Amino acid sequence: MRIQIFSDIHNDLKALERLTKTPADLYISAGDLVSWERGLPDCGAVLRPLGDKLWVLPGNHETAEQIASFCTQFGFRNFHEQVFKAAGHHFAGLGYSNPTPFDTPGEYSEEELEEKLDSFKNLSPLVLVVHAPPRGTTLDEIAGGNHIGSHAVRKFVDAHHPQYLFCGHVHEDAGKSDQLGETKAFNVGKQGYVLEI
């Protein structure tokens, strides 16, 4: 099975067109299709051919309510705080980021992230798809060597060892990967990543 996972499109419709033409059995948008909540209908028009093969998370630039409505309107699947099974794996999704300096619409406190991730702890084998990268990795490093990822996501990975983790959010690290104990972790960015299982 081929699963195409991507994030941080930020209204780049040409990138979306390219992703829809990448052959896959399932597609997962890991957040931030748009910037500051504007332009979801335009993205929906490009993504419409994927129908219910597309699972969508809100990033920090969308609200959960907007993504739920978006999925209903275009026939996509809302992946926020949801789990589905495919190819013998559990796929679990959690949108939003940890707090940012920009007060974007989709942010959780670290405590909220930890609480919501907790519902995924007994799933194995697990493919975890989150918008926020784990803290202190190659996936969340910005200029100056600072790390801005989520402590809660890192804590979950260290404690529960999902087989795979996919994230976005930190544009500087799009396309990078890291090995966190038993977990293969990827910041997919708008180029996307095709998982074959």
- pLDDT, one tens digit per residue, over 7-23 is 999 999 999 999 999 99
The CATH number linked to 148 is 3.60.21.10
CB 50 within 8 A of CB 77: no
Residue 186, beta-bridge partner list:
166, 177
Share of the chain above pLDDT 70, in %: 100
Encode pLDDT of 148-195 as tens digits. 999 999 999 999 999 999 999 999 999 999 999 999 999 999 999 999
Give the helix, strand, coil percentages of the chain, each rounded to 5.
30, 30, 40
Provide the 3-class DSSP secondary structure of residue 176.
coil
Domains identified in the chain, total number: 1
End-to-end CA distance of the chain: 5
- Residue 51 belongs to domain spanning: 2-196
Supply the angle between the helices 40-47 and 13-20 in degrees, to the nearest 10. 20
Strands 77-78 and 54-56, sheet pairing: parallel
Tell me the pLDDT band of 64, cut-offs 50, 70 and 90: very high
How many residues comprise the chain?
Answer: 197
> What's the pLDDT score for residue 156?
98
The mean per-residue pLDDT over the stretch 115-122 comes to 97
Tell me the pLDDT band of 34, cut-offs 50, 70 and 90: very high
